[in-house]
Amino acid sequence: MIQTKVKVDYNRSYVNRKTTARRETQNDRLLVFSFIIFVLMIGLILFAYIGQSLQITQLNYTLNEKKLALEKIEQENHQLNLELARSTSLARVEKIARVKLKMVEPEEIKVVVLNNNQENKIIDNNKKGFFLAGLFDSLIDKIGTVQAGEL
């Protein structure tokens, strides 16, 4: 019978080679897996960055459109305020009253003042002297109410 010589390796290099090969393949797998995760994270960050950039650009366009619309509305508001000021100016109202409505200024100006008791008092702006005005007021108070047509 043929005998083979048993290889005796006290350093256990055969066993070490197997475990080293396993460790190397596990390290290679871990390295590949880590690289894939790293690439995916970089891709996700780039995707989020590009999305945010697009959203900011779109919002800037919208903001510019709103600014233009606001400027247009402010200009229209300014034009309407000018037109209102021209229409309600005292000179224009007086011109319309004199020309179109043929109004004239009154010869004598009288002011009717109503107090809380609903009594009418007539104050003449053309009165002469303070004493006569006081007498006239007291006379009106004693009489009571006076109709505007009776004067």
Domain spans, the chain: 12-105, 107-146
Tell me what the pLDDT averaged over the chain comes to. 78
Distance CA 130, CA 83 (A): 45
What pLDDT digit, counting tens, does each position of 14-53 carry? 555 556 667 778 888 899 999 999 999 999 999 999 999 9
Whether pTM exceeds 0.85: no
- Sign of dihedral through CA atoms 82, 86, 90, 93? negative
Give the DSSP per-residue string, 10-47.
TT-HHHHHHHHHHHHHHHHHHHHHHHHHHHHHHHHHHH
Give residue 105's pLDDT: 84
Q: In terms of pLDDT, which residue wins out, 7 or 50?
A: 50
| pLDDT above 60 (res 147) | no
Give residue 10's pLDDT: 57
| Residues whose CB is less than 8 angstroms from the CB of residue 114 and which lie 6 or more positions away in sequence, other chains included | 120, 121
Instruction: Read off φ and ψ for residue 60, nearest 5 degrees.
Output: -65, -40
Q: 13 falls in which pLDDT band (50, 70, 90)?
A: low
3: left (phi over 0), alpha (psi -120 to 50) or beta: beta
| pLDDT above 90 (res 5) | no
**What average pLDDT score do residues 102-130 get?**
63
Q: Which residue has the tokens 């702006």?
A: 125
Q: Which residue has the tokens 């083979």?
A: 4
Give residue 126's pLDDT: 45
**What average pLDDT score do residues 57-67 get?**
97
Give residue 25's pLDDT: 81
Give the DSSP per-residue string, 44-90.
HHHHHHHHHHHHHHHHHHHHHHHHHHHHHHHHHHHHHHHHHHHHT-H
Give residue 67's pLDDT: 97
